[in-house]
Amino acid sequence: MKSTTMCVLVVMLVGSIMGKLSPPERSYKILMLLPVSSRSHRNVFTPLAEALADRGHKIVMLTNQPKSSKHPNIEDIPHDLPYYREENINFFDNRKNHSRALLMLETVLPAVARELYKVPVVKDLYKRRKEFDVMVIDQLFNEVAYPFLHEVPFITVSTSGMEPRMSSVLGNVPNPAYVPHFLQDHPRPLSIWHRFYNTFSHIRHALYWRKWTILPLIQKAISAQFPELPLLLDLERNVSLSLLNSHFSINAPLPLLPSQVEVGAMHCRPANPLPQELESWITGSRSGVIYFSLGSFVRSSSMPVQYRDLFIQAFRRLPQRVIWKYEGELEDVPDNVMISKWLPQQDILAHNNVKVFFTHGGLLSMQEAIYHATPLLALPIHSDQPKNSMFIKNSGLGDFLIWEELTTDMIVDALTKILNEPKYKENVLRMSVPLRDQPVSPTELAVFWTEYVIRHKGAPQLRSPAAQLSWVEFLMLDVIFLLHLAVIVLLFTLRRIFRVITAKILGSSGKMKEKND
């Protein structure tokens, strides 16, 4: 009797801890649109797709990525256009040359816009788009898929966390006094120059993307094929909800609208047991283990040779063992270094003999390190990685290095410092615990809100009135103008009155003088 009561209690507790969602009213059809995406963007979508599929919904994914889930309820539709292929982009070349990276987008995105709707499977999917209950679109780089959103409720996923441009569309214009630009951050607190520069970057990027260059190019290609369609920016304004790959415990807390839901670190999960060989290799290292990976987007084999040699020399000097994710053959590998092209990253990071994660500073890698409480040394390559690296340093989770300044000593010193000073581990733990302390898991939260948007037919109750305002109204320029006008009129009137009075007084005192004479 007692034990059954206990059991019921435990079940109830577990149920409430896991925040079990009530069963869905029916099976929904959901279209996920990520025709221009990297593997890391895809990795943000997969946990959400699988969780929705587990609840009996049918998921279709339009993508440029290889299949990532074997779930029977998830159907992949790859468009197979030869653009934006990770294997064709050399990020080491693009790294310092921003104009080159932008130039790539300026040619790739319009090309996708021209050709996407000619691909037979995409054409067919477009024709039957109204069958879907909701669209979930990758916010970054996927304006080419906006025609799908016409007259269907849709949700955007910001894989890089809160993105100022999209946030402004929803009616929440971020304040550049403290919200970083999506690719860059500066040491905190921001100096006046950094705030000036940050404001300038916010405005320049929004204009470059929406008004001057990228959107007009895509719009031109889309209008040629869909002359009847509303403008892409008008379609975008109809967004119901934005899921953000961020969480206030691992980013700066920011003011958000009810239509902006933080679901950061959906892909993070408790560790699974490691393969036997790896487990004993890690446990067998008396001074701990360093895990080195430059992520899924950048292949180490495209790394310039001089850096490769630097790493080998540096690792040779360390008393720790090093696990290096490297695709390709390497000669002259020291005994304390293990090379592999695929590694169970989260299970490695969760091992308590793994002391430092030497990383490119990708957002998902950083989230995994925080979730599993492993200090970081970042070596950022491109896009938001420099910003994440600055965050790692600013919040005391580790440090970062810069490719141009790299020497063997620097690598050894930085790794040794992070290994030996306990504050890094303490700081990362201090962030890890609140990240796991949530009423429901981020994936469940994302599932809830996705179904909510369907249940409420686009959930118009979430729309901020700010989204309807023009810039003049939003910044209250008209009101400020009126205020100025009122002050000017008041001053002018007061001056007239003052003049009349002084003239009277002076006039009468003048007359008195005359009389006295």
Ligand X SMILES: *[C@@H]1O[C@H](CO)[C@@H](O)[C@H](O)[C@H]1NC(C)=O
Q: Considering the complex, what minimum distance in angstroms separates the CB of residue 100 from ligand X?
A: 3
CA distance 316 to 336: 7
CA distance 334 to 113: 48
Looking at the Cβ atoms of 281 and 452, the one nearer to ligand X is 452
Q: Considering the complex, what minimum distance in angstroms separates the CB of residue 459 from ligand X?
A: 7
Binding site for ligand X (CB under 6 A): 97, 99-100, 103, 150-151, 153, 230, 235, 238, 240, 457-458
Provide the residue count of the chain.
517
Q: Considering the complex, what minimum distance in angstroms separates the CB of residue 52 from ligand X?
A: 18
Q: Considering the complex, what minimum distance in angstroms separates the CB of residue 274 from ligand X?
A: 43
Residue 31 DSSP symbol = E
Q: Considering the complex, what minimum distance in angstroms separates the CB of residue 90 from ligand X?
A: 12
Looking at the Cβ atoms of 88 and 99, the one nearer to ligand X is 99
Looking at the Cβ atoms of 218 and 235, the one nearer to ligand X is 235
Residue 467 DSSP symbol = G
Closest to 251 measured CA to CA, from 152, 397, 355: 397
Looking at the Cβ atoms of 95 and 321, the one nearer to ligand X is 95
Instruction: Check the CA dihedral 266-270-275-277 and report its sign.
Output: positive
CA distance 95 to 302: 13
C-alpha distances (whole Å) from 219 to each of 145, 146, 236, 407 are 11, 10, 12, 47
Report which residue's Cβ sits closest to ligand X: 458
Looking at the Cβ atoms of 235 and 268, the one nearer to ligand X is 235
C-alpha distances (whole Å) from 389 to each of 18, 194, 196, 314, 378 are 32, 17, 21, 21, 6
Whether 122 and 18 have beta carbons less than 8 Å apart is answered as no
Looking at the Cβ atoms of 455 and 457, the one nearer to ligand X is 457
Residue written as tokens 């009129």? 489
Pairing state between β 289-293 and 260-262:
unpaired
Looking at the Cβ atoms of 103 and 475, the one nearer to ligand X is 103
Q: Considering the complex, what minimum distance in angstroms separates the CB of residue 457 from ligand X?
A: 6
Looking at the Cβ atoms of 199 and 302, the one nearer to ligand X is 302
Which segments of 284-344 does DSSP mark as H helices, in order? 305-316
Q: Considering the complex, what minimum distance in angstroms separates the CB of residue 466 from ligand X?
A: 18
Whether 105 and 214 have beta carbons less than 8 Å apart is answered as yes
**Paired tokens of 312:** 């080998």
The amino acid sitting at 454 is: I
Residue 421 DSSP symbol = -
Q: Considering the complex, what minimum distance in angstroms separates the CB of residue 9 from ligand X?
A: 42
Q: Considering the complex, what minimum distance in angstroms separates the CB of residue 104 from ligand X?
A: 9
Looking at the Cβ atoms of 2 and 130, the one nearer to ligand X is 130
